């Protein structure tokens, strides 16, 4: 074969391999991914305060508010005067308890005047009488001058012989017992005071018995008559004792006064300090429990003999309601307990706990009470309840009136200066001022006064909030009875018949997280898409608006995404109305918005956020009901094109 023929054969084989061995083309098709993007129902009642808006039986809505007008409060008119006072828990204020008992015993042999063998005997006992002189020691007490106390005596007949009568003479008093049967015990209690205890005490015991007659009784050598003497709850003027349990308490009242002739009923402090000093005059340590109920403070302090401790309280913000009319700032209690002692301790009238207390830097925020002269002024600021739902400034009411009911039991005519100020965006938007003259009243029989203020313009000023101010002045001649007052209430009620003005309301933001499998298909095969809005409107007005779709702030950036946001506009007609203007049915609207290949790239990023915006157009006054709503659902359909097998 010739050389050129060989070359032709080789070229033919190469061309056959190129064209005949190429793999076949796979089929390709389009599919749709459905992504629920947004679903929500807007109701007017969701934006309303249920405590202010009342639903009527016919599903209509009324706005109602009712709030008190504060009593007269003379803010910053008078200065408070500081106090520096001292109280003392003296020795005589302490109550001594748990003092050991004294005992006196009389044996059977001493009673019957004859010996008794160790084994005992059985015989009749003849009648007998006797007087015995004994001593009774009170352990732990050397001597004491008793101001007040209690003496308890107990007689135990531990024999088989009945005792008809017993008379016991003590320095503390005389005690009688009668008919003390064998093997029984009798007790007696007596209050004592103005007596002197010197231990041991002399005790004279006189007793008598009719004996056992012809009956014989068993007599034992261990039989006896036992007398027990106990003193308790002692208050002493001086003593030499081993200190048992002793306790005293003192309630101190910290008063306050003013630089003006003014009787304080209540106040709130802006600042103030109260310092309490506890000084121990005992030779032994004292435990002091300090309790200040109004400040919810309670603390124990251990104070060494002839030492002191200082406690300071911040009174800022403290509120005082002086119901007792004593101009009391606060009360505190001190409970003092000296340490028990093992050795005898001399107690004198100089012993005790000194309590000092003082106030400083008292500055009131507000103060109320009784002036001794007819000059008085007070100004109060209150924020009225939110009239229009927050964030829907476009709503307007057709009519609103504020009704004032005021009662005056003060014996002066009052000038009541009222001010209503609407604030919007940090500035005054509208204002209403009115001067009312309230007739003088009488304590126990207040005078009533009524007035109606038109506040429609204030409410419709689109205010963020409305401030209510009132200043009270007492003028002329009259009387101010302690406890008299001027107070009142304001009320407003208006049907929720509203008119829209031009405004835009933003709905809540919804976050959408795409599935990973969908994101893979979108990243490689996205062709286009469509946004479908289904809107059902049951409001008595139509709406325009748009749906905004954008990447969430947490979504990762993607250079292949060619748009930052998609806006889907829509319009919604009015719901179905009855002859009264009430919305009784939904109007349905479906909006289709097609996405080209550039707009569809936004869905490569995840998560996405979707937010609905409603445009309020000016309307006439409309009736609103609790059943009114706007229901919206949004579905995104993305079209992807598959070019290989097994990718779905």
Give Dmax (Cα) for the chain. Answer: 177
Q: Best-predicted range by mean pLDDT among 7-11, 235-239, 608-612?
A: 235-239
User: Residue 178: is its pLDDT beyond 70?
Assistant: yes
pLDDT digits (tens, 9 = 90+) for 80-89: 888 899 999 9
236-265 b/e with 16+ CB inside 10 Å = b?
beebebbbbebebebebebebbbeeebbbb
Percent of the chain with pLDDT over 90: 31
Q: What's the rounded Cα separation, in Å, for the pair 278 and 161?
A: 59
- Tell which residue, 535, 554, 553, 531, has the closest CA to residue 543: 535
* The predicted structure's pLDDT at residue 648: 41
Instruction: Looking at 90-146, list the stretches that DSSP marks H as alpha helix, in order from N- to C-terminal side.
Output: 108-112
With a pLDDT cut of 70, the percent of the chain lying above it is: 78
Mean per-residue pLDDT of the chain: 81
Torsion on CA atoms 405, 411, 413, 418, rounded to nearest 10: -40
Check whether 391 has a pLDDT greater than 90. no
Q: How far apart are alpha carbons 355 and 339 in whole angstroms?
A: 19
Confidence (pLDDT) at 327: 63
> Which strands make up the sheet holding 622-623, listed edge to edge?
395-396, 497-500, 622-623
Beta bridge partners of 165: 178, 208
Distance, CA of 152 to CA of 500 (rounded, Å): 89
Q: What angle do CA 50, 51, 52 make, to 5 degrees?
A: 90
**Residue 505 burial class via C-beta count within 10 angstroms: exposed 0-12, middle 13-18, buried 19 and up:** buried
Which residue, 118, 106, 104, is CA-closest to 219? Answer: 118
Q: What is the pLDDT of residue 348?
A: 92
DSSP string, 404-442: EEEEE-SBS-EEEEEEEEEEETTEEEEEEEEEEEEPP-B
Reported as half-sphere exposure (CB side, CA atoms, 13 A), residue 222 has a value of: 2
SS3 257: strand
Give the three-class secondary structure for 40: strand
pLDDT (tens digit, 9 = 90+) per residue, 338-388?
999 888 999 999 999 999 999 998 887 766 666 666 555 556 666 765 555
List C-alpha distances in Å: 544 to 8, 428, 566, 612, 618: 76, 31, 17, 11, 12
Query: Does the predicted model carry a pTM greater than 0.75?
Result: no
610 burial via Cβ count (<10 Å: 0-12, 13-18, 19+): buried
> How many other C-beta atoms lie within 10 A of the C-beta of residue 464?
16
Q: What is the pLDDT of residue 265?
A: 72
Please tell me the number of Cα atoms within 13 Å of 641 on its side-chain side.
Answer: 7
| CA 572, chain centre distance (Å) | 49
Could you give the CA distance from residue 173 to residue 197 in angstroms, rounded to a whole number?
11
3-state secondary structure string across 527-541: EEEEEEEEEEEECCC
Q: Grade residue 564 by pLDDT with cuts at 50, 70 and 90.
A: confident
418-453, pLDDT tens digit by residue? 888 888 888 888 888 888 888 888 767 788 888 888
Q: What is the Cα–Cα distance from 423 to 465, expressed in whole angstroms?
A: 6
User: Within 10 A of 307 (CB to CB), how many other CB atoms are there?
Assistant: 13
With 80 as the cut, is the pLDDT of residue 64 above it?
A: no
Q: How far apart are CA 280 and CA 291, in angstroms?
A: 18
Task: Return the closest-CA partner of residue 556 out of 509, 519, 521.
Answer: 519
Mean local confidence (pLDDT), 321-328: 65
Q: What is the pLDDT of residue 302?
A: 95
């Amino acid at each position: 074969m010739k050389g050129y023929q060989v070359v032709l054969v080789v070229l033919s084989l190469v061309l056959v391999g190129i064209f005949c061995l190429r793999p076949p083309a796979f089929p390709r098709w389009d599919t749709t991914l459905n992504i629920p993007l947004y679903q929500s129902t807007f109701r007017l009642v969701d934006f309303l305060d249920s405590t202010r808006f009342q639903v009527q039986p016919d599903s209509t809505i009324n706005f109602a508010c009712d709030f008190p007008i504060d009593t007269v409060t003379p803010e910053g008119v008078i200065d408070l005067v500081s106090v520096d006072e001292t109280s003392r828990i003296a020795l005589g204020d302490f109550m001594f308890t748990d003092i050991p008992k004294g005992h006196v015993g009389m044996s059977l042999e001493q009673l019957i005047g004859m010996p008794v063998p160790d084994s005992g005997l059985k015989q009749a006992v003849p009648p007998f009488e006797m007087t015995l002189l004994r001593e009774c020691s009170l352990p732990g007490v050397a001597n004491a001058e008793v101001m007040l106390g209690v003496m308890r005596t107990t007689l135990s007949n531990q024999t088989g012989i009945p005792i008809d009568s017993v008379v016991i003479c003590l320095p503390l008093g005389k005690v009688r017992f009668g008919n003390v049967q064998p093997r029984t015990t009798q007790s007696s209690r007596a209050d004592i005071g103005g007596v002197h205890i010197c231990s041991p005490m002399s005790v004279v015991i006189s007793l008598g018995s009719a004996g056992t007659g012809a009956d014989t009784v068993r007599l034992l050598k261990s039989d006896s008559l036992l007398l027990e003497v106990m003193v308790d709850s002692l208050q002493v003027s001086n003593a030499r004792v081993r200190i048992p349990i002793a306790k005293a308490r003192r309630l101190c009242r910290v008063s306050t006064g003013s630089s003006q002739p003014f009787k304080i009923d209540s106040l709130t402090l802006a600042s103030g300090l109260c310092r309490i000093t506890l000084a121990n005059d005992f030779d032994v340590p004292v435990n002091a429990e300090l309790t200040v109920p109004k400040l919810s403070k309670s603390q124990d302090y251990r104070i060494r003999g002839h030492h002191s401790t200082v406690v300071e309280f911040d009174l800022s913000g403290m509120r005082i309601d002086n119901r007792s009319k004593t101009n009391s700032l606060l009360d505190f209690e001190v409970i003092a307990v000296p340490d028990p002692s093992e050795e005898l301790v001399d107690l004198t009238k100089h012993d005790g706990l000194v309590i000092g207390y003082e106030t400083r830097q008292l500055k009131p925020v507000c103060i109320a009470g009784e002036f001794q002269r007819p000059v008085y002024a007070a100004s109060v600021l209150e924020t009225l309840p939110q009239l229009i739902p927050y964030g829907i400034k476009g709503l307007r009411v057709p009519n609103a009136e504020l009704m004032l009911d005021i009662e005056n039991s003060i014996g002066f005519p009052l000038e009541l200066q009222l001010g209503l100020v609407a604030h919007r965006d940090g500035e005054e938007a509208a204002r209403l001022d009115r001067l009312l003259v309230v007739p003088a009243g009488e304590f126990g029989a207040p005078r009533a006064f009524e007035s109606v203020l038109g506040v429609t313009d204030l409410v419709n000023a689109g205010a963020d909030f409305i401030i209510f101010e009132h200043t009270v002045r007492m003028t002329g001649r009259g009387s101010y009875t302690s406890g008299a007052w001027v107070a009142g209430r304001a009320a407003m009620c208006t049907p929720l018949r509203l008119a829209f003005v031009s405004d835009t309301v933003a709905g809540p933001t919804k976050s959408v997280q795409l599935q990973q499998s969908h994101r893979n298909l979108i990243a490689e095969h996205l062709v286009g898409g469509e946004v479908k809005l289904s809107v059902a409107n049951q409001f008595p007005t139509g709406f325009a608006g748009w749906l905004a779709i954008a990447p969430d702030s947490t979504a990762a950036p993607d250079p292949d995404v060619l748009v930052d946001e998609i806006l889907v506009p829509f319009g919604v007609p009015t719901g179905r109305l009855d002859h009264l203007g009430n919305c009784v049915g939904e109007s349905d609207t479906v909006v289709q918005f097609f996405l080209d290949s550039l707009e569809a790239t936004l869905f490569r990023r995840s998560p996405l956020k979707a937010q609905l915006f409603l445009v309020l157009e000016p309307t006439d006054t409309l009736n609103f009901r609790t059943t009114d709503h706007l229901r919206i659902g949004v579905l995104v359909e993305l079209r992807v094109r598959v070019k290989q097998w097994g990718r779905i």
